[in-house]
Structure 1
């Protein structure tokens, strides 16, 4: 496999970066390829470069849209509406959606708010937060708002190194997230947590509404320490007919720890549900 720096350069070369003002938020996203549309929703760091291994594998056969999240959004509803606006602007009627971690939670919200824009969903390293997460997330929001910013960034770097300790490319990803933190600032980092807190508080609403029941795939590593069995159970209950692909190991981000397996699993599903 090429170095991660070469793969990142290929991502930037193959996908054009675009910027758009949508409501009160400034969005950045990457577009490349042609054909059936696939939207890639990253995790909580909100960086499209996180898809640097999947996007190049798709762009020759699909029209890929990989988004960066605006640091000013405080709810998944705002993010979902922004994704819809991007689809509108790009002339895309509906798309297959891949969401990792917080991106999978966003995919769930998107499918409920705009079900006609979604043709399939791949949920990876994700589930649904609930009441048991509210106090923890509220404390993290408060701490992020009040702790000296450099101290927060240092703690985040160490947490990421611990989460990705088995990856030889961990330092690249730690640097990418830290650059995103510098760009979003202290308020932006707190806002990403506010999105998660809002979702946890609104869990009953999500569970009461009819869930989207199109083709879906849930991918999970058994040793994911961030998404609990209860989080996963809630998602599977909303999508009882979803395909399920477990891995015995790989942690929270299989795209980082097992990129070849991740790409093969996701592309196989997407290829079976093409719309063109």
Structure 2
């Protein structure tokens, strides 16, 4: 486990971990709803950091960071941009998962010249969408004060023995992570929930994402149906879509080696 570091921004002191090195721009990771910088699966991180500099951080008010959690996606994106400023990162590759995928799109639209390549995992453009709706139980389960193992498996993995087994293995790896930052607080959870619930979405601006974009999801995501990833791939001008079988929202941790290899190939092109 790398040392937890901190950097000062106008939103407060933000926590981050920096790993790996190598040629090319750093890869910055934006985390999911209710997730911290220590909720990235080690089996996914290890191959990514093998040949490049990688930075994962906690947004304002999350995990090891100070400040208050913004209650809008634009506000959370402003924190991410302030983090890039404080780290003196003029240009990066950006990977966002789930809520982080929404945030990454907002960042790329706000400062397009600073994002060389964009990876949107388990996410969509936000706002109203045609196609399948999230599973009717998602809102109820997401709103639980604490998400136990069954909640986690329902939200993040497909309803199959193989996918659920992968989910339990993912949970075991995360539980074994030492010196974890604090979990997301109730106040932070509510602000994130408001940010998601009030967002209008960016579908009408997807054509502005001129950088190469890699979009990926599990074929059976109950929270953000894979069709919404397909929308991005159709409307962003230079986007590639990958769907993983027998997998849900946490496909990247069910197939950590495979997806890390896809990411590495995409960033190396």
TM bracket (short chain): 0.7 to 0.9
TM score, norm. by length of structure 2: 0.77
Q: Stretches of 4+ moved more than 6 A in 1?
A: 179-182
CA distance in 2, matches of 1:95, 1:123: 14
RMSD of aligned C-alpha atoms? Answer: 3.2
Paired residues, number: 245
Q: Which segment is superposed worse, 180-189 or 104-113?
A: 180-189
Q: Can you give the 5+ residue segments of structure 2 that lack an aligned partner in the other structure?
A: 62-68, 158-163
Change (3 A) 1:198 1:127: same
Post-superposition shift, 1:208?
4.5
Larger relative CO (CA 8 A, sep 6+): 1 or 2?
A: 2
Look up the match of 2:6.
19
- Partner residue of 2:16 out of 11, 14, 29: 29
CA distance in 2, matches of 1:269, 1:32: 19
CA distance in 2, matches of 1:161, 1:180: 21
CA distance in 2, matches of 1:186, 1:115: 33
Conserved 8 A contact 1:75-1:196: yes
- Partner residue of 1:91 out of 88, 92, 106: 88
TM score, norm. by length of structure 1: 0.75
Conserved 8 A contact 2:214-2:240: yes
Change (3 A) 1:229 1:262: closer
Q: How does 1:42-191 map to 2 (within 5 A)?
A: 42-49=31-38, 50-71=40-61, 72-131=69-128, 152-153=145-146, 155=147, 157-162=149-154, 163-164=156-157, 165-167=164-166, 168-172=168-172, 183-191=183-191
Q: Can you give the 5+ residue segments of structure 1 that lack an aligned partner in the other structure?
A: 1-11, 145-150
